[in-house]
Chains A and B, each alone.
Chain A
Amino acid sequence: MSRIACGAAWGGASLAAAVAPLLLPTWQTQLAFLWVMIVFALTWDVLGGQAGYNSFGNVVFFGVGMYACAVVQRDSGLGYFQGLFAGTACGAALAVVAAAILGAGLLGLRGHYFAIGTLGVGIAAGELAAGWDFIGAGGGMVPPPFPGGLGGRERFFCYLCLSIAALTVALLRWLYAGRFGLALNAIRDDEDKAEAMGLYTTRYKITAWCVAAFLLGLTGGVFGNLAGFIDPREVAFAGSTFGVWMVLMAILGGKGTLLGPIIGAVIFHVTKELFWTYLLGWQRVALGLLVVLIVVFFPTGILGWARARWPERFA
């Protein structure tokens, strides 16, 4: 694709995303969820796709951001919007701290040890949150109600989520284009060689995880307010839904690319919303089946398949 066509496609997509809530006002909450899904898939891909480090625990940062934001909103005494912005900032900062601490321990390990190490982190976090009275324990928390009128809430959150998704795309595009992206890809391709070339691979991996955590923390803070209710196991540290979706969406679209996770997120979210209710309780079974099928038969994802099919367009 030529540079101009590529720019035009991105511009067109952004324009469509910006006007969609105005054209389809009844779909605003759906769209907000879609932007969140895109952030999920893209942030998982930072380590999972670009650096080849599967993480099953990224949902922790989402939950940390969500709880931190809700606590700030509850205890700071600020107005709604000030509280929300201070809260998301705190949430993102705390998520980065969590990623740096966890990463310092776990990212010194090689891929499969890291993967198993993150496997239980989300569940452990959910359990701890469910036992901690300060953040509502098992009963969860309720963020303050949105002050504006009826229609304003949906539109506000739709654009807020869109801006986070846009920030994610822009930030990752910039990071992948430079030395950072190359370093991550070098780690994925051959970590020993990358280290021998003088890259501090662990530092790069931790930074990558912190970037993902920052974006997830932001999203978490906003999502808590969007959902209107924070449950420790089903919303904040929802390993069996969000945690699995992240992985699935990124692989479905094509891991290790910028566009792939976006495509995967859109396709997954749309099919999920269209068909999920017809599955009558079999949704989560279908989810597991989908993960197996995609990983086994379609590991390069849609974009990888397209690249193999039409190599000249990706030159």
Chain B
Amino acid sequence: MENLRLLLDEPLLSLQLLLDGVLIGFVFALPALGMALVWGVMGLINVVQGELVMLGGYVAFFLFRAGVHPLFGVPAAALCLFVLGWALYRAVVFRIVERDLFISILATFGLSILLQQLANLLFGANLRTVESGFGTLSLCGGAISVYTVKLISCALALATAGALMLFLKSSRRGQAIRASAQNARAARVIGVDIDRVYAWTFALNAAVCGAAGALVAMIWVVHPYLGLPYTIRSFMIVIAAGLGNMAGVLIAALGVGVAENFAGFVLGAEYQSAFVFALLVAFLVARSRWLARHRRYLA
């Protein structure tokens, strides 16, 4: 509670937390965009999401250790994860796409355990980070400081999201993906290869998550078990925004980023992921209450 009083006494501190929250919100938006894409196109709730972020972080870390500048880690992680996403689709995901939602949730849950434990075994449980070497920027005469790396990651996250949107909007493949999202059967009738579209969708999602992971490695640390909170956050953001509402995803992600940053400060960092889960439960409950009220209006 001391932190809360500190927060009330220092208005600039709130501004600092708000700014930080918005910046990390952009990073949270990437896996959420990917989840919305996979959910919307393939009808699949992808529980592996967070593990893809984690693996992207490891790609960035190993490249950094090999002496590559951290900024190149972002496209490299996206590329590696694109390939991995494609492989995952060809190995497992295509078998569960058109099955019921329970099977897909359970199967991707199994995949997430598999990847997480594999990472633990191959990379070790140590915390790893990418030293970006960027300094901090001071605003308002030193009262507010912003890590430059957060600004850069925010810009990179926006660029990645923009590239994804552009791809979906204007490329031939992107149009096929959007057509399949609207009506898979009709798309098949007019000659879209649905299987290929799904493979592209899943791989693109993995690539976006990989880019997010590289940013996570630059801002914070990576470890094998960081995945689940990202999955939960993405899910929360997507249902807050509503499926198919990409601008909403971005706004919801910023909201989650800010909320989490304030909660992390008030409650202490060790409860941050507990807060994420609690927020999800609270959010789901509020949403079902809200929907129930609407249903009563209809009746």
Chain A residues at the B interface, C-beta cutoff of 8 Å = 52, 54, 56, 102, 105-106, 108-109, 111-113, 115-117, 119-121, 123-124, 127-128, 131, 240, 244, 247, 251, 281-282, 284-285, 287-292, 295-296, 299
How many chain-B residues does the 8 Å CB contact rule pick out? 43
Residues of chain B within 8 A (CB-CB) of A131 are 270-271
In angstroms, how far is the closest chain A Cβ from the Cβ of B111? 6
Among candidates A105, A120, A288, residue contacting B114 with C-beta atoms closer than 8 Å:
A288
A-chain residues with CB within 8 Å of residue B115 when the two chains form the complex: 288
Q: A106-B285, A244-B113 are in contact. Are A112 and B106 (CB under 8 A)?
A: no
A253 to B114, CA, bound (A): 21
Residues 25-42 (chain B) with a chain A CB within 8 angstroms: none
List B241-292 residues whose CB lies under 8 Å from chain A: 270-271, 273-274, 276-278, 280-281, 284-285, 288, 292
- 4 closest Cβ pairs, A-B complex: A291-B110, A288-B114, A120-B277, A288-B113
Is A299 a contact of B118 with CB atoms below 8 Å?
no
Q: Which residue of A lies closest to B115 (CB)?
A: A288
Q: Across the interface, which residues of A come within 8 angstroms of B102, CB to CB?
A: 52, 54, 111-112, 115
Does B284 contact A292, Cβ atoms closer than 8 Å?
no
Instruction: Give the complex CA separation of A297 and B183 in angstroms.
Output: 27
Q: Contacts of A299 on B, CB cut-off 8 Å? A: 99, 103
Contact check, A127 vs B281: say whether CB atoms are below 8 A apart: no
Which residues of chain A are within 8 angstroms of B14 by Cβ–Cβ distance? none
Residues of B within 8 A of A284 (CB): 113, 117, 120
Q: Which listed residue (A112, A119, A282) contacts B232, Cβ 8 A?
A: A119
B105 adjacent to A115 (CB under 8 Å)? yes
| Option from A106, A112, A121 in Cβ contact (under 8 Å) with B101 | A112
Chain A CB within 8 A of B157 CB: no
Most B C-beta atoms less than 10 A away, residue of A102, A106, A117: A117
**Does B187 sit at the interface, judged by CB under 8 A?**
no
**Cβ of B109 < 8 Å from any Cβ of A?**
yes
- How far, in angstroms, from A121 to B109 measured CA to CA in the complex? 15
Residues of B within 8 A of A292 (CB): 92, 107, 110-111, 114
